[in-house]
Amino acid sequence: MVEMMSEKKFDYFIQGEKNKWEVIIGLEIHAQVLSKSKLFSSSPTKFGAEPNSQVSLLDSAFPGMLPVINQFCIEQSIKTGLGLKAKINLHSVFDRKNYFYADLPQGYQISQYKNPIVGEGEIILDMPYGSKKVRIERLHLEQDAGKSIHDLDPENTYVDLNRSGIALMEIVSKPDLRSPDEVSAYVKKLRSIMRYLGTCDGNMQEGSLRADVNVSVRKVGNKELGTRCEIKNVNSIKFMQMAINYEAKRQIELLESNKIVNQETRLFDIKKNKTRTMRSKEDAHDYRYFPDPDLLPLNIEKSLVDMLKKDLPELPDEKKERFIKEHNLSAYEATILVSEKEISDYYEEVVKSCDKKLATNWITGDLFAVLNKKNVSISKSPISANNLSSMISMISSGKISGKIAKNVFEKMQINDEDPQKIVEREGLVQQSNPKKLEKLIQEVIAKNEAKVSDYKAGKVKLFGFFVGEIMKASKGKANPILVNKILKAKLN
């Protein structure tokens, strides 16, 4: 299989009034760890519970309460680090990050500052212009904060501490991203890796994946980085892209008017499609990090890391390579099939017992179209993997044709019915009996003597007409391959 060399080049540059600019982006992603209980307390972590119903004395920082770390959260971070091909730090330290806010009952967040649990790693992105490596700076564990609800009461804020203390992995990239599209690909890939690993469900609507976006600009050709601004808590990829677009242009406008960009924290206003200052320099937080004296340093055994490495599921990049080599798929097809764990699971279930090429086409074509139309993910597919597989097997065996299959496919969507039953009940079995087909074809030819003469005289396009008539006569059931063969023989 020869892959066409991509001719597309990277082209996200912004033409200012005076100069051509490029955009430098780094992301800090907060990913909620999938675990039953919180990082330092045994409260449950389920989303959507009654306010303050999943809060312990520790989560609400009562006097004398002390943190005890959740072993599984440690392992989930290590697994994520391994999925990012990153260095696992066998020695790490928990630090207190001190600041005041209503949803931070302790008055500090337990986080990691100078000694995070995971060090440098990387993520490879598949862009239209080729592979792009994005370097990861670090991953550390920290507590999530509670929720402040500002709009239930005109004068007050309500505080719900259910989320307070849930384990977060903060994943910091180096400023290697250069466009909103790369940002989108990065977030999707990172989310996919964590879903493959089962370490985070990546559900941005529920807040289990949030991002702070760091944006700066520089003239094309310059090597130094410009001053960056941080856009906090953007909770969808679309908004991230909009925010980056706006912010880049804002900074370019400032710089081209000989003003400077102030390093500051900003918020993205989704109604106005603008970023605005969140904190002035005066209110800048001084977090006064110091090692948490309620916790000892974390020392991890190498044997634990080795064991977790051994038990890692196959990750998207490896799976993609395997699909290309062993299933003979194209890079493009493989990329789509591994993009989400649910899709690759579905595909692998389907191809357990049917042709891989057909499976690929049916899944990425017809099935995806249905899912899009119904706006559901493949985990809620109206057609189960088993049934799709069964249908495809019938095509391979010649029991039904591709055309008939489209009909069966439609009908399967109603109740996810076994396609064999549908075919039998509706008499959709392909007509593949050569003698019967010959008779049918002979009849059609006999009815259309004039056209036959035209065909023989050179109007070869009429072949399609004959096929059409044969299909009509057979109510669509004639085996197209055999029809072709027999018709050709008869006409020549």
Is the CB of residue 322 less than 8 Å from the CB of residue 92? no
CB of residue 139 vs another protein: minimum separation in angstroms? Answer: 18
CB 91 within 8 A of CB 51: no
Query: Which residue, 43 or 344, has its beta carbon nearer to another protein?
Result: 43
> What are 141's strand-pairing partners?
169
Run of H or E including 219: strand 209-219
Shortest Å distance, C-beta 98 to another protein: 6
Cα 171 to Cα 174: distance, rounded to the nearest angstrom: 10
DSSP 44: B
Which tokens hold the place of 434?
């050569």
**For residues 437 and 444, what is the distance between their CA atoms, to the nearest angstrom?**
11
Would you say 184 or 265 has its CB closer to another protein? 265
Q: In the complex with another protein, which residue's Cβ is closer, 24 or 104?
A: 104
Closer CB to another protein, residue 277 or residue 377? 277
Q: If DSSP states are collapsed to H, E and C, what string results for 237-272?
A: HHHHHHHHHHHHHHHHHHHHCCCCCCCCEEEEECCC
User: CB of 202: closest distance to another protein in angstroms?
Assistant: 20
Q: Which two tokens stand for residue 162?
A: 């259910």
What CA–CA distance (Å, rounded) separates 118 from 171?
9
CB nearer to another protein: pick between 36 and 406? 36
Rama region for 107: left / alpha / beta (φ>0; ψ in -120 to 50; rest): left
Residue 412 exposure: Cα atoms within 13 Å on the Cβ side: 26
Amino acid at 486: I
For another protein, the closer of residues 65 and 467 by Cβ is 65
At CA 371, angle to CA 354 and CA 476, rounded to 5?
A: 60
- 92 vs 431 by CB, closer to another protein: 92
Would you say 108 or 455 has its CB closer to another protein? 108
- 8 Å CB contact between 108 and 95: no
Query: Residue 64 CB, nearest distance to another protein (Å)?
Result: 4
Nearer to another protein, 108 or 196 (CB): 108
Q: What's the alpha-carbon Rg for the chain, to the nearest Å? A: 30
Question: Cβ neighbours of residue 340 under 8 Å, at least 6 residues apart?
Answer: 192, 195, 377, 378
Query: Look-up: residue for tokens 């209503």?
Result: 102
DSSP state of 365: I
Smaller CB distance to another protein: residue 265 or 361? 265
Minimal distance, residue 67 CB to another protein, in Å:
7
Distance (Å, whole) CA 406 – CA 81: 44
What is the closest distance, in whole angstroms, from the C-beta atom of residue 14 to another protein in the complex? 30
In whole angstroms, what is the distance from residue 96 CA to residue 112 CA?
A: 8
Q: How far is the CB of 229 from another protein (least distance, A)?
A: 17
Q: How far is the CB of 238 from another protein (least distance, A)?
A: 24
C-alpha to C-alpha distances, 45 to 41, 53, 203, nearest whole angstrom: 10, 10, 14
Closest distance of CB 192 from another protein, Å: 24
CB closer to another protein out of 69 and 324:
69
Closest approach of another protein to the CB of residue 172, in Å: 20
| Least spacing, CB of residue 42 vs another protein, in Å | 4
CA–CA separation, 303 and 312 (whole Å): 14
Q: Where on the chain is the footprint of another protein (CB under 8 A)? A: 35-37, 42-45, 50-57, 60-74, 93-94, 96, 98, 100-102, 105-108, 148-150, 153, 155-161, 278, 286, 288-291, 293-299
